[in-house]
Structure 1
């Protein structure tokens, strides 16, 4: 079978030089000369008068001064890498496959349902199947998720391959999940977009590539007459098995059948999701090509038989209901033209076995491995072509970090359109929203810029889920409801799209009803969707620590983190209310806001007046984060790094702050006062340790089953989360200088944890205090220190969001404030970056002959070489900026730049300018804060005092009636 030059199989040809070395030297020289001549001839054939192959593939034109095509602009591409003609070579899918990254590195398409990879026996690490460690391989399966936390996901119906069985006795092959795993051959793992390969120690080489719903495997064998195992010798007669297990071993029902006449194996199973409730049904259809069949049969655990071709009810009627059970097929030697390999084609579906077979047959009718792999790579090229970089002066490692991050962003959510078994709909259906709590902050705003078509379809899918299930999901996987982690952050995703003009094809009437449902109607189980404690939220403006929720059930915890997210969700709803009142046509109403206010009635069971009233109500609720602000809360911590003097009794001797730091067990205090804290029903505060749930204090105490008031982050972290009201927060923290000092302390002291997405925005919040240079400094500290091109090159679960963080910070010249039309500007890691402009992306691909019609949003770094931009942690600061040729002093930009195209020029240097004329430092240049009205806060403080007095009196009366003491907090 021919090897495609555009394919990673050329890596397999690395053995050729070994054979070539045996050729006599003169003959080798002659062969090299012939090869060189052929190469030169081919290159000249590929050159046209206006472009070379390299220019066409890797370096389409830089946009002109205002985002239009300019054929006179310099070409893209790193000069030192001009021999490279494919941007995909900078993508390493193995980044993040250890150290908790849980990244899926196998073969797939953008948002692809089929995701094929080798599964590894690595407890707590194999959420995506494969792990870059030394654990053995258990099989090769066809569906996975990427970057998730929780338990392993999917991994249904794995194949496993033996080149032969001891003594040619199929019962002596290993079938069980516990018996069959084998080590991989060191150095044999290779992954690229659309392709994955690995060798295992029984001599089998596994390669895989995919279409959207199907996988094509190629299993190659040594070709020797005998295969030597530790247990004995096996004649060359391959055996392939398919197991009904999944990665989580969650099967409760299933069945499988093998057809001896055709070799087809079909089956199904019912499984549970990894981070949610319920179950899902999956189906597969496998065919084989390349060798004649010898025997077929089934197995349960390690007991195989050729007398039974069907297993039914697997999961209920067997002694080990969730263990291995499946079917197998043994082959003669592969046909001569197959060169010691066998193809396995596997279609998957969530509808039926017939649909799984149809998927495979329609997408891979030709069984052409090279064609399928080539199409997969082309799909990735086309998807990534919306971003182009001039990489001269940027290291290959940083290029790999950037492009691999962008690649990972497009792995999920997964497009299951046409595979939804729950309801019939003409709307798109996406799944694997793991979880919107993670992805709303960076990934979905990124898709709004680089793939608005897909983002629109995802929003339509979210709305359709609301239509049929009554709530927008916070987390969703395998057609099941996932657990809620904070607020109802699909509200933010919907509002973010609206404020950035992504309005076409979206049913905004139903979208608005959906977000109102989140804000107003508490579901019976808000642990799976929606919000809880809404009675207190509506009446008090916060979730009391000791609240009694009589309307629904869910984790009675996280009062701070849920509260600040509820506040931001409501603020985003206020923006949506305001925007829809100004765009009545989106609600199917006439052209005036007065008419839409009086005629529009959401289909929800709550009182409703008008969009204008909604805007006021939700804007006011957006200020509720301040109800958690305790201005007297202290940052207390222990320092056990020194031994106490022998004369000091650490339990009773009072010490000054100077010598207290040397006494283990003594409680110290940082200079920062004022933090978000939990409140009781009486309105008083309780003390929650400010550093708990940070890397330096009980980090793992606040995950899903926490009883604490914060979730996966400390009060230190959540005290910075008021993106709707940063000017107020800065004043509460002591003013801009103290805010900057405090935010720097957060990043310096070990409290910050970049492995969770809530920390992303804190890297860039220096902008709000007029110090945008510090945002750039800390970005370049974390990249490449924590985000790099190694297999452990991300600091936590990827969630398809870690890649979005690097894409924004390294390439797109900013970071989004999700839910707002705001991007905080930072200098990219490249000489120039351009992004295809246009909200509908109707402009032609940059690889097409019509690329001159394309418009681009271009971010150009001036003084790139002089500023030491190589990304080695050296700070780089913006000195001045121009937007479309005009001086630009704001340290933020709107979505219009990405939608309409243009040129943003950033003049950089090695020193931060904090003077009066420093870029982005003056008050008028800061990002918007939406609660700057002093009268608003005066009224809020008055109401808070009155309500607190009333609540305290009510609680005292209740306590007297019940004979209990009042909880005074602290």
Structure 2
């Protein structure tokens, strides 16, 4: 997570400390231990893979700085402190650093010890390094830096990172509000960048920047950034942080914006401070990225919005983008329009994007799922859905050029569906393609998304085609494969039609780029045909067999290789298992959905600094718990939500002008009495374990739960839809 200053939801500037331990990747710049070696203006939050950004940096130093190429890192004398819109570090050299920002500019406020001159090093070549040895470290490719009195401007050119980006440029314009007694530029080719007790970081990158020295103990700096030009960077700082602006003003402004745009949209009668901390910090965490780069797109001129730092649709499509739609409908529509505009100008929808460059695609073309979800839930506005569907169809029909990614060089990891040749020829994906099985499951969901949009646009032939293709996950199902007294799993399949058999469904190789499954096991992926659940239930031996399969998945002590998660087959720390606790709703066992989703929420989440079961993944983990708190769970690409159990006696979500969803509960207890006894929706008694978008979100709604300590089979009405399975079967309660 990024703990620094994010002055508004989706802000381009994210200002905070960069910490080095010498061995550990600081994905967001921050580490709890190690030396601070700069305070930079751009970061991502909650991401893994490798660090990105850490650019446009300043670092204070006591006295003069004879050689800015040496290690200037400092330990912290006390723990850093932070609140919304504000960050403070106290360094071991007695320099205090306070930070505040706006969307395109930053303020650094330094307090130096008396008795020495005070210096600030502006390091244009500063980037966050990677120690993983995968070739994902960032590079500095050169730039410009000029000084005029106590001001500076220039540009830095950077490349690589997790998305393997080619050269990209950020421009900057900075002012110190005190006169400098000395202002010098520096350049150098220092192959030993930073040395620590545990080793040395080297890359031989050309370095440049400037050193400003003052005779004051209090120094303030204002810096603007832009992807467009130094002039626009200067305009950004002049407009957003004019001379004379106080740090307190910026902090207050940031807190007002977060309160107005995010926190005030969700209100509750809850008084438990721990639960409130989770609720509001998770709302905050899910809206740090993507970054709104509207009017800051250097690649093309467009009237459309622009968003970058999408990391990644693979992480976000299951439950994050749907919650963004609920909580930030205007920004969500802009994000959809931005995705389509990227396709217009680059030919492909991105699964991930950073520094205005698409990459990587971990599995399917999952922007298709996001667009389909927006379409079926009525997002229209200024979205051009003809173009949106054409973008989705590109993913479904055109093989992207291979970018020869060293970690998986069989097909494109940049965009589109690299394994499309097998998908179209066989209806499944052979092991000649990496991540073959997990890709096949995701391609099926992607094609279901095309079916949904084609149906809405009355393109009947396409709708029939893609509905049929959405069932291709079935071609990976081997009914003879067994595990823990359960039969049938999605497994690798060869071109001659044979399965890789036997295949241990508890194993996924390295579970990474070159393996048959990505970041989870066959057990988990075998539950992931969320648009075709009733066929999966039939393959699993009907409702009784499906319940047994699900219960086995959550049985503690069963799987010793997963000890971090209570020795279960269920891995709450990765997205492929996000939906699985709620699948009991499809067989009339809503009580078991509540049991296992609440158990996961309480066991793996807390309000502390280890309060998530895995990487935040750009807020994905936060949104899973937020849905759990609300008492609903989205089925992406479909217009309904599975019902869980709410945490609060009253929760109200503002949905727009004079619209809200109100969720209440009586008789509940957070630890023991959370089973649904009965439910009314919009004042009517309810016997379904699902509600539609139209019923509770489109124009607002109300859900009133009665909770208790004993499981109750209250949901005996119509089962949730499963469009690819045909008619909803009877007798599954």
Change (3 A) 1:332 1:263: farther
Asked if 2 retains the 8 angstrom alpha-carbon contact of 1:104 and 1:129, the reply is no
User: 8 Å contact 1:776–1:875 — kept in the other structure?
Assistant: no
Query: Structure 1 residue 276: deviation in Å?
Result: 3.1
* Residues 1:175 and 2:68 aligned together: yes
Residue 106 of structure 1 pairs with residue 5 of structure 2 = yes
Distance 2:340 2:725 in 1: 33
Task: Give per-residue Cα distances to partners, 1:705-738, cap 9 Å, x unaligned.
Answer: x2x2111110000000111111111121122222
Q: Residue 330 in 1 paired to residue 204 in 2?
A: no
Per-residue CA distance 1:741-798 (angstroms, 9 max, x = gap): 2212212332222221111111211211211222222222222322211112112221
Hey, what's the Cα distance between the residues in 1 that align with 2:160 and 2:341?
23
Is 2:295 the counterpart of 1:412?
no
Aligned to 1:710: 517
Q: Partner residue of 1:203? A: 94
> Kindly tell me: are residues 262 and 902 of structure 1, through their superposed partners in 2, closer, same or farther at Cα, counting changes over 3 Å?
same
**Which TM-score applies when normalising by structure 2?**
0.90
Number of the residue aligned with 1:791? 609
Alpha carbons 2:145, 2:208 under 8 Å: kept: no
Q: 2:659 aligns with which of 849, 855, 860?
A: 855
> Which ranges in structure 2 are unaligned for 5 or more consecutive residues?
130-136, 191-201, 403-411, 559-567
Q: Equivalents in 2 of 1:241, 1:479: separation in Å?
A: 24
2:470 aligned residue: 622
Unpaired stretches in structure 1, ≥5 consecutive residues: 1-101, 226-234, 304-318, 334-339, 547-555, 582-610, 636-669, 844-853, 937-970
Correspondent of 2:220 among 338, 343, 354: 343
1:439-490 CA-to-partner distances (Å, cap 9, x unmatched) read: 1111110111111111110111110110011111111111112121111111
Instruction: Kindly provide the CA deviation profile for residues 29-57 of structure 1, in whole angstroms up to 9, marking residues without a partner as x.
Output: xxxxxxxxxxxxxxxxxxxxxxxxxxxxx
2:186/2:208 contact within 8 Å kept: yes
What's the counterpart of residue 815 of structure 1?
633
Whether contact under 8 Å (1:245, 1:322) holds in the other structure is: no
Q: Distance in 2 between matches of 1:212 and 1:868?
A: 41
Aligned residue in 2 for 1:212: 103
- Say if 1:250 and 1:322, in contact at 8 Å, map to a contact too: no
* Cα-to-partner distance string for 1:661-696 (whole Å, 9 max, x where unaligned): xxxxxxxxx211111111111111113321114xxx
> Equivalent residues in 2 for 1:947-966 (5 A)?
none
Verify: 1:287 aligned to 2:186, yes or no.
no
Where do 1:412-811 residues align within 5 Å? Answer: 412-525=289-402, 526-546=412-432, 556-581=433-458, 611-635=459-483, 670-687=484-501, 688-693=503-508, 701-704=510-513, 706=514, 708-748=515-555, 749=558, 750-799=568-617, 800-810=619-629
SS in 2 for 1:739: helix
Q: Tell me, yes or no, if the aligned pair for 1:109 and 1:210 is still in contact at 8 Å.
A: no
Whole-angstrom CA distance in 2 between matches of 1:935 and 1:711: 31
CA contact (8 A) 2:155 2:169 kept: no
> Does the 8 Å contact 1:545/1:679 carry over to 2?
yes
**Selected match of 1:363 from 240, 246, 263:** 240
Tell me what 2:122 maps to. 241
Q: Whole-Å Cα distance in 2 between the matches of residues 935 and 148 of structure 1?
A: 39
Taking the aligned partners of 1:296 and 1:302, their CA distance within structure 2 comes to 21
SS in 2 for 1:355: helix
Contact 1:260-1:295 at 8 Å conserved across structures: no
For residues 891-910 of structure 1, give each alpha carbon's deviation from its aligned partner in whole angstroms, at most 9, with x where no partner exists.
11111211211211011101
1:893 aligns with 2:691: yes
Higher relative contact order (CA 8 A, sep 6+): 1
CA contact (8 A) 2:5 2:101 kept: no
Aligned residues: 686
- After TM superposition, give the deviation of residue 253 of structure 1 in Å: 2.3
State the partner residue of 2:34: 135
Superimposed CA distance per residue, residues 619-657 of structure 1 (whole angstroms, 9 cap, x where no aligned partner): 11111111111111022xxxxxxxxxxxxxxxxxxxxxx
Q: Would you say the 8 A contact 2:12–2:103 is kept in 1?
A: yes
In structure 1, what is the Cα distance between the partners aligned to 2:317 and 2:89? Answer: 35
Query: How far apart are the structure 1 equivalents of 2:578 and 2:259?
Result: 28
Q: Pick one of 703, 711, 720 that aligns with 1:912.
A: 711
CA deviation digits over 1:123-153, x for unaligned, max 9? Answer: 444111112x221111100001111111111
User: What SS does the aligned partner of 2:570 have?
Assistant: coil
CA shift digits 1:10-67 (9 cap, x unpaired): xxxxxxxxxxxxxxxxxxxxxxxxxxxxxxxxxxxxxxxxxxxxxxxxxxxxxxxxxx
SS at match of 1:421: coil
Contact persistence 1:273–1:279 (CA under 8 A): no
Note the aligned Cα RMSD (angstroms). Answer: 2.1
Cα distance between partner residues in 1 of 2:120 and 2:385: 55
In 1, the alpha carbon distance for the partners of 2:505 and 2:74 equals 47
Structure showing the higher strand proportion among its residues: 2
For residue 877 of structure 1, the aligned residue among 675, 695, 698 is 675
SS for the counterpart of 1:293 is: coil
Secondary structure of 2:145's aligned partner: strand
Shift of 1:536: 2.8
